[in-house]
Amino acid sequence: MKQILISFLLVVLIAGCSIFYKDYNLISTSYKATDKLLKGVKDIHNLEPRSDGVYTKQPILVTSFVNIDNVQQSSTFGRVVGEQMGSRLAQRGYKVIEMKMRTSNVFVQERTGELLLSRELREISFQHDAYAVVVGTYGVGKESVYVTSKLVRAKDSVILSSYDYYLPIGPDTKRMLQKKR
């Protein structure tokens, strides 16, 4: 009887722990990724004085992050990450162009977000006077979502900085990943 009670309590304890499993703080993770992108550019700039850095007065575009398996598809997750990274850039004093207000050569699909097609990157940079673009992809694993973010120089598509990270898939993240459009 005592073993049955202990087994029952153990099962309840394990089940209870899964209820308390929470998502990572997506905001702080997106902010950290943005800070890492900026630090990567500064590190490159410090090592190679002639290389192009990104300065606060140079306009930056930020796109929705896309599903690595279908780059014309995003989700609530991809849109939120892009929005948060743009927010962090603005907080750091960078000139961020709001893509929702300027959509001439950016592929914008209702409820999908702003997706830059690489072949149009140079043209978009001229029209929006953008120096750089933040782009990113995500891939969904069994228990994690893997994110790659890049800061790309618009005039020649050179990657100035990149940062890769992953997040465990909690209930909120799972919902955001399922809302694809």
**14 lies in some domain:** no
**69 lies in some domain:** yes
Least trusted range by pLDDT, from 69-78, 117-126, 128-137, 166-175: 117-126
Residue 112, domain extent: 22-178
**12 lies in some domain:** no
Hey, CA dihedral for 110, 112, 114, 116, is it positive or negative?
Answer: negative
Hey, CA dihedral for 108, 112, 113, 119, is it positive or negative?
Answer: negative
Tell me how far apart the alpha carbons of residues 101 and 88 are, in angstroms, rounded to a whole number.
19
**4 lies in some domain:** no
CATH number at residue 84: 3.40.50.10610
Tell me how far apart the alpha carbons of residues 148 and 134 are, in angstroms, rounded to a whole number.
11
C-beta atoms surrounding 37 within 10 Å: 24
**33 lies in some domain:** yes
How confident is residue 4, by pLDDT bands cut at 50, 70 and 90?
low
**7 lies in some domain:** no
**9 lies in some domain:** no
Number of H helices, E strands in the chain: 5, 8
Tell me how far apart the alpha carbons of residues 122 and 105 are, in angstroms, rounded to a whole number.
11
How confident is residue 16, by pLDDT bands cut at 50, 70 and 90?
very low
Tell me how far apart the alpha carbons of residues 164 and 11 are, in angstroms, rounded to a whole number.
37
13 exposed, middle or buried (CB, 10 Å; 0-12, 13-18, 19+)? exposed
**54 lies in some domain:** yes
Residue with the two structure tokens 């782009």: 135
* The model scores a pTM over 0.85: no
Quick: pLDDT tens for 103-136: 444 444 444 444 454 555 566 666 778 888 999 9
Quick: pLDDT tens for 96-112: 988 765 444 444 444 44
Count the domains in the chain.
Answer: 1
Give mean pLDDT, residues 82-102: 86
